[in-house]
Amino acid sequence: MAATARSGGDIDPAKDERAGKVREVGSQAVWSLSSCKPGNGIGQLRDDCMDTYWQSDGQLPHLVNIQFRRKTTVRDICIYFDYKIDESYCPSRISIRAGTNFNDLQEVEVIELNEPNGWVRIPLKDIHERPIRTFMIQIAVLSNHQNGRDTHVRQIKIHSPMEAKGAALDNLGTFVTVDCQQYSCIR
């Protein structure tokens, strides 16, 4: 059973970050790749530049492994693709897997991509429709458009929901500036 992910120019992964609804937790993880061409690895996948990309080098499936040091709540994954530029390098089918380590990964989502151009948001939910909690996420590129061999993925963002803890501040409104947000919770 494959889902079709929502994509396009209307998705802005930074919008929810700026609104304080989610935080990007990819920097808290250890990233690894099944393969990459020299100069097109994790650094390019995480540099916030849409002109750079990870390019795989080898047989399908191509894997991106994201391992967290502690169990982490993940609401969604946002991936940037550019079919107009990448064509046969652009994935057409990806699998998202989650688990404790490489040995117990379970498939959470399978996504069919039809010439994606822009950000694709993939919500990750458990059987109770809540964001998943996991130590590891694996993104597997199962096939590319035009039967391409290698893959280009331009950016990946991992979002965790912001959780209010302690005193209820809901009736005070949402803090949107950095100056106010720094006082929105007690550590």
Where residue 174 falls among pLDDT bands split at 50, 70, 90?
low
Q: Residue 181 belongs to what H/E stretch?
A: helix 178-181
Q: How many structural domains does the chain have?
A: 1
Is 146 inside any structural domain?
yes
List % helix, strand, coil for the chain (3-state, nearest 5).
Answer: 20, 45, 40
Is 187 inside any structural domain?
no
Is 28 inside any structural domain?
yes
Containing domain of residue 71, as a range? 3-182
pLDDT tens track for 63-101:
999 999 999 999 999 999 999 999 999 999 999 999 999
Return all residues near 51 (Cβ < 8 A) that are at least 6 apart. none
Q: How far apart are CA 175 and CA 13, in angstroms?
A: 18
Is 64 inside any structural domain?
yes
Is 78 inside any structural domain?
yes
Q: Are 122 and 7 in contact (CB under 8 A)?
A: no
- Taking the model in full, what pTM does it have? 0.83
Specify the residue for token string 């919500």.
123
pLDDT at 123 over 80: yes
E strand segments, 5-44: 6-8, 22-24, 29-33
pLDDT tens track for 23-74:
999 999 999 999 999 999 999 999 999 999 999 999 999 999 999 999 999 9
Is 145 inside any structural domain?
yes
| CATH code: domain of residue 46 | 2.60.120.260
Where residue 1 falls among pLDDT bands split at 50, 70, 90?
very low
**Greatest alpha-carbon span in the chain:** 54
How far is CA 24 from each of CA 42, 87, 161, rounded to the nearest angstrom?
Answer: 16, 28, 9
How far is CA 92 from each of CA 50, 88, 171, rounded to the nearest angstrom?
Answer: 19, 9, 45
